[in-house]
Structure 1
Amino acid sequence: MKTKILAGLLALTVVTGVEQGAALAAETSENREVTVSRIDVEDTIDAAEATNTAIAQEAEKDDKQPVASKESAKDKSKENKAKKKAPLKTKQTKKAPLTIEGDELFFDDASGEVHATGNVVVTQTPDTMLTKELRGNTKATEVWIDGEATMIQPEMATKMVGHTVHYNYATKLGTMADAKGMVGNERVAGKNMQFFPDKLISHEATMTRCPAKVPDYHISATKVEIWPGDKLIAYNAKVWIKNTVIYSVGVYQRSLRKEEGNEMPQINYSTSDGLSVQQYYEYPLTNNWALATNQAYYTKQGYRPQYSLIDREDKYRFRIQEGHFRDDSSNWVKKEPEFRFDWYQQRIGQTVWSYKFTAIYGKWRDNAKTSWHQDYALYFTRDPIKLSDSLTWYIGTGYEIVRESYNGSRVNTMTFNTSFYKTVSPKLTVWTGYNYTQNTKNLFDYDKNDVGREWVNGITYTLDRMNTISYSKSYDLQYKRTHADTFTWVRNLHCWTLTLNYVKYKDHSNSNSFNWNLSLARW
């Protein structure tokens, strides 16, 4: 018979050192063991505070109710009926209860010792532990597992499988041997895994995003610290392509945010710049500060390195950067240096709108001029509007101010962007959009919009799981002429992506361009 125990008494015993709790425990329980299929333990206070402070509490008594047991324990259970208490009320925020379920669960309500077998599930929302057998203690909120176990932590985007597990649900500290699994998009394996409230540490570890049995690339390290969704730090790291080490480094840091670089070399080709090879490297200084460099060589441009000092916080990023920078249209500028502040996208209250802000101040140089450049941009986006199951509407608008010391100019620009995406079939997507830029007459070509009033239409078709093609047409509504036709082919090379792009300009604003890029696949 399945039994659910909302153990108010167990909740009380979490608060160690309370005389009232000891008295109630002595009054309502004897040292005995019962067999049940589920136990709920109310975790009513912060574990760290519980170990240092005895909190006086009042227990609200409920009706007496016997604990259900198997036939072999019926007589003993009748003689020792447990008094069921309501969960205790405290000033602390109540946490999710710890629930242990299994095909067979042996429980001593005096000591808190638990032994579960069968299909065992341990839950403290939203975290889940799955195994076949465990030992534990409800008062210490700890579990021990000798065999295989699966740990699922949705808030940390983590799912690990291993054995010899010890985990404390109050402190969120634990260990797992021979662990392997997923942390976000990273495939992580380690001889020993340590769990913390905000991070994981994997010893004798390997990491990759490639799902192959022998990955196309991976990192190995004596220790890797991972803050899910934020960053990782690898110690004594080696970067591999297949079974060959391409380089090694004492300490390596990589951001896990979407827009940041990665540890693998990138190979590119463009008509204007020729063949290029780039390598990004980042070294941690503190928890938030890091030094970074992107070493790049172009056959038509030569050596073009970048250097940065970066501060990453929860809501913003600040960078001091110097070097040669290239935009998507092959326009170059040298920053000597530049100070950049990025306020990450934030929702405006409970509305459907979000905003982000960027401020730039620095010395810019190109082949013709040098200027102290200032750029302040505020941009708003609305949540996508689902017009139907297959049609989505996107809207964004912003305002930008650009100042230049070279000619004393100030350019104020309003922007508006909207687009509709239609999924015609699982293989076919079409879109149309309108982009408005009030003023395109900036001093530098770098990062400048070429078309003030643009109407763009496009189509993407997936030929098979390895190949996708797309075509888009940019039309200049101001001058009533086609600006550019863009043809793209994306080839899936398993754990790498090859992108070929050809742009044919119709308004003679640029010469035609051909580009290709070989980079890690992004999942």
Structure 2
Amino acid sequence: MTNKRTYALLLAAILAGMAVPAAAEDAEDAASSQADAAAADKLQDNMMTDLPPVDRAGTIALADEGILYPPSSGSSIIRDTTAKKAEEKPKTKTKMKDGKPVQDTGISKENPMYVTADYMRYNDTTGDVDALGKVDIRHMMDTYQTEYLYGNMITKKYVIPGELTWTNPQTNLKAQRGEYDAEKGIGKFEGLTGWQQGTYYYQGSDGIYDRNANKMIVNNGYFTTRHAVAKVPDYRIEADSIDIYPGDHYTAHEVKLMAKNTILLTLSSYTGSLKDNSGEIGLWSLIPRPVFDSDNGMGLHNSLVIPINEDPDSTVYMENRWYTKSGYKPDIGIKYRVPVGTFRLHYAEEESTTNDDGGIWVKKKPSLEFDTNHFYLFKSRFYVGASGEIGKWDEERNGRDVDGNYKGYELYISGDPWHLGKFMNFGWKAGYAKDYYGYSNNIRRNSYYSMGLSGHYKIFDGWIGYTDRDLKGYTPYYYDSYSSEKPVDAGFRIQATSMDAFSLSWSVDTVNGILNHRYWTYYRDMHSFYAWIRYDDIEKETKFMIMPKDFKF
């Protein structure tokens, strides 16, 4: 039996209304409208039209501007004529919001929806519709899969009584049952689990997705990160409800921070970021992590980042470091992200990263710092960047107190690694830095470049790198002095088991040929953390640290 062209199931809205905004896919060819109209004239009112089962290619229907077109008699797929029709009509105006163009994610000729099922049927009087068998729904970058779907085109309400999945580049959700109200653009789920951006995992008894607000609410569940997922996650945020705004932020209400089955903290609410490169915004960073090094002694690290007014680009943070030898070393301040980079105003006690002696700390009271993003040059692999700081430094070491104003900046150019064959990579960086010291009214200039090779083959990793610094002037602080101006660093690593690895590395000062360091390191994979212990048999020093895989501190 043929099918009526006004097989007007707004199945275009089924679950497509739950789509997260994404880039549109190209439409396939649609059927001749004249053939469809002729077939529709033969259909009598109040008659259920069945689409017969077909092979696994499926019965494919095309949803265009809210109308679902079934295949014409004897055809397994509709051919697209929407491109031809579009030429006959003037282009629609671009949608605007707050003066900016907004992508149209609804069903349209430009963004059609495809439905594939083993069996479909529709009653054009009551509006009832069914799709059975292996049902696949595709709209733009979203894909929905289930075994059975039913609903009504008049009430615009639809039900998936069994298991369903919803995937797109940001979301991967599974639920035991789903409902969708196309009029309100709201979907409801029961027994749901899901992923955001492949990094954040959530689970809840039920949930709601509001397409218009691009907001998912997960009730009576928890939220964690990828490597912590287990039968009992290593750490998680349990909450009465979690509001998830894909690609932006989440807010959890009535929160418990859990480490396995232990409650570490309770809060009325907490907001974290889901934006790229912002893994430091997570309540789980409060979990203390043990460290040890010969200069500072045993220690514990943790941190807390709190968005201001639920804006993940504006945050108040506190990083805590406690040591048995060095005492308490805080870093407290405000971070503000802008499109070109990040500002940070803070009071901090920071350990030197340029002097290898260890245990060298400076107080920044306060310091204003700025780091730019990487700006790629003319769509090439090369990028430039900059950083700067202005503040007051205070260093007490060996009975000597150096206290004064400081300002400095750095400009650099680099690029994405070059792949040399299948196993090797080449990286490089060049830059210029200038430091102004109020303590001695001195200026130091640093022109530098570095280059290195790294490789991986089966269980082996290797690397070698060289840095050349041309320093003019001097610093009155041990904190930002360099142990070696022209070092060569080399080493190799063996992945002995899936959980254990060993490495041996060297650092040589090429100015005088002295071997500065020889590091023996053991690594252990601890599910959601890495642990490593390193011994320097030149300096006779040991360092131990546990590092999280999915967040920063």
TM surpasses 0.5:
yes
2:202 to 152, 163, 188: 188
Give the SS at the match of 2:389: strand
Matches within 5 A, 1:388-467: 388-424=421-457, 426-439=458-471, 441-446=474-479, 448-467=481-500
Give, in whole Å, the separation in 2 of the partners of 1:171 and 1:447: 59
Matches within 5 A, 1:37-56: 37-42=59-64
| In structure 1, distance between residues paired with 2:289 and 2:448 | 33
Q: Which residue of 2 aligns with 1:369?
A: 402
Query: Is 2:7–2:122's contact at 8 Å kept on the other side of the alignment?
Result: no
What's 1:159 paired with? 172
The alpha-carbon distance between structure 1 residues 356 and 201, as it changes in their structure 2 partners (threshold 3 A), is: farther
Query: Which position in structure 2 is the counterpart of 1:216?
Result: 234
Moved more, 141-150 or 396-405: 141-150
- How many Å apart are 1:279 and its aligned residue? 2.4
TM superposition shift of 1:177: 2.3
Pair 1:273-2:287 in alignment: no
Aligned to 1:62: none
Task: Provide the secondary structure at the position in 1 that maps to 2:374.
Answer: strand
d(CA) in 1 for partners of 2:411, 2:157: 49
Question: How many pairs were matched up?
Answer: 474
> 1:338, 1:360 within 8 Å by CA — same for their partners in 2?
yes
1:347–1:225: structure 2 CA closer, same or farther, 3 Å change rule? farther
Q: CA deviation at 1:111?
A: 9.5
Contact 2:131–2:150 (CA under 8 A) maintained in structure 1:
yes
Alignment-mate amino acid for residue 302 of structure 2: Q
| Alpha-carbon distance change, 70 to 330 in structure 1, aligned in 2, over 3 angstroms | farther
Query: Residues 281, 68 of structure 1: CA spacing in aligned structure 2 closer, same or farther, 3 A cutoff?
Result: same
2:306 equivalent in structure 1: 283
Q: Where do 1:83-94 residues align within 5 Å?
A: 86-88=84-86, 89=89, 90-91=91-92, 92=94
Match of 2:384 among 355, 369, 380: 355
Aligned Cα root-mean-square deviation (Å):
3.9
Q: Which residue of 2 aligns with 1:517?
A: 545
SS at match of 2:161: strand
Helix, strand or coil: the match of 1:96?
coil
Contact in 2 for aligned 1:270/1:516 (Cα 8 Å): yes
Shift of residue 133, structure 1, vs aligned partner:
1.5
**Are residue 260 (structure 1) and residue 280 (structure 2) matched?**
yes
Instruction: Quote the Cα distance in structure 2 between the aligned partners of 1:380 and 1:167.
Output: 51
Q: Show the counterpart of 1:68.
A: 72
Tell whether the 8 Å contact from 2:450 to 2:467 is kept in structure 1 after alignment. yes
Matched, 1:240 2:263: no
Measured in 2, the distance between the counterparts of 1:172 and 1:108 equals 23
What amino acid does structure 2 have at the position aligned with 1:359?
Answer: G
Q: When the two structures are superposed, what TM-score results if normalisation uses the length of structure 2?
A: 0.75
Cα distance in 2 between the residues matched to 1:6 and 1:399: 68
Distance 2:173 2:440 in 1: 59
Contact in 2 for aligned 1:277/1:297 (Cα 8 Å): yes
Quote the offset at 1:427 in angstroms: 0.6
Aligned to 2:510: 477
- 1:468 deviates by 1.0
Taking the aligned partners of 1:404 and 1:106, their CA distance within structure 2 comes to 79
**3-state SS of the aligned residue for 1:324?**
strand
Contact 2:220/2:239 (<8 A) preserved: yes
Pairwise CA distance, 1:84 = 6.7
Q: 1:43 to 1:137 in 2, by over 3 A?
A: farther
Deviation of 1:162 after TM superposition, in Å, equals 0.9
Partner residue in 2 for 1:205:
221
In structure 2, C-alpha distance between the alignment counterparts of 1:445 and 1:8, rounded to whole Å: 76
Corresponding position of 1:55: none
Cα 1:395/1:502, change in 2 over 3 Å: same
* Kept in 1: contact 2:9–2:153 (CA 8 A): no
Deviation track 1:69-92 (CA, whole Å, cap 9, x = no partner) reads 489xxxxxxxxx999765535234
- Residue 87 and residue 376 in structure 1: after superposition, are their counterparts in 2 closer, same or farther (change >3 A)? farther
Q: Distance in 1 between matches of 2:291 and 2:192?
A: 36
Unaligned segments of structure 1, at least 5 residues = 15-23, 45-64, 72-80, 506-510
Taking structure 1 as reference, are residues 42 and 135 closer, same or farther at Cα in structure 2, changes over 3 Å only? same
Distance (whole Å) between structure 1 residues aligned to residue 219 and residue 133 of structure 2: 30
Aligned mates of 2:141, 2:360 — CA distance in 1: 48
Q: Distance in 2 between matches of 1:402 and 1:7?
A: 73
DSSP 3-state at the match of 2:388: strand
Query: Larger relative CO (CA 8 A, sep 6+): 1 or 2?
Result: 2
Q: Secondary structure at the match of 1:395?
A: strand
The one-letter code of the counterpart of 2:317 is: A
Call closer, same or farther: CA 1:185–1:170 in 2, change over 3 Å: farther
Alignment counterpart, residue 295 of structure 1, candidates 320, 326, 329: 320
- Deviation for aligned residue 1:274: 1.0
Distance 1:254 1:268, change over 3 A: farther
SS, match of residue 366 in structure 1? strand
The residue identity in structure 2 corresponding to 1:388 is G
CA distance in 2: counterparts of 1:418 and 1:112, whole angstroms? 68
Compared CA separation, residues 376 and 255, structure 1 to 2 (3 A) = farther
- Once the two structures are TM-superposed, the CA of residue 170 in structure 1 deviates from its matched residue by 11
CA contact (8 A) 1:43 1:95 kept: no
| Structure 1 residue 148 corresponds to structure 2 residue 181 | no
User: 1:66 and 1:145 mapped to 2: Cα distance?
Assistant: 20
Distance 2:11 2:460 in 1: 56
Contact 2:322/2:329 (8 A) holds in 1: yes
Percent identity over the alignment?
A: 22
Contact 1:41 1:138 in 2 (8 A): no
Alignment counterpart, residue 374 of structure 2, candidates 331, 336, 345: 345
CA contact (8 A) 2:272 2:307 kept: no
Check whether the contact 1:6–1:40 (CA below 8 A) recurs between aligned residues: no
Aligned to 1:122: 137
CA distance in 2, matches of 1:220, 1:326: 35
Q: Taking structure 1 as reference, are residues 226 and 272 closer, same or farther at Cα in structure 2, changes over 3 Å only? A: farther
Q: Name the amino acid aligned to 1:415.
A: Y
CA-CA distance at 1:41 after TM superposition: 2.2
SS at match of 1:294: strand
* 3-state SS of 1:122 partner: strand
Q: Distance in 2 between matches of 1:411 and 1:387?
A: 37
8 Å Cα contact 2:61-2:71 kept in structure 1: no
Give me the whole-angstrom Cα distance separating, in 2, the residues matched to 1:243 and 1:66.
Answer: 53
Deviations 1:231-286 (A, max 9, x none): 44333221212211122223334445366262422211111111112221122222
- CA distance in 2 between counterparts of 1:449 and 1:171 reads 63
Q: Do the aligned partners of residues 205 and 362 (structure 1) sit closer, same or farther apart at CA in structure 2, a change above 3 Å counting?
A: farther
* DSSP-derived class of the 1:369 partner: strand
Deviation at 1:490, TM superposition (A): 1.0
Cα 1:140/1:359, change in 2 over 3 Å: farther
Structure 1 residues 233 and 102: alpha-carbon distance in aligned structure 2, compared to 1, 3 A threshold = same
Aligned to 2:364: 335
SS at match of 1:464: coil
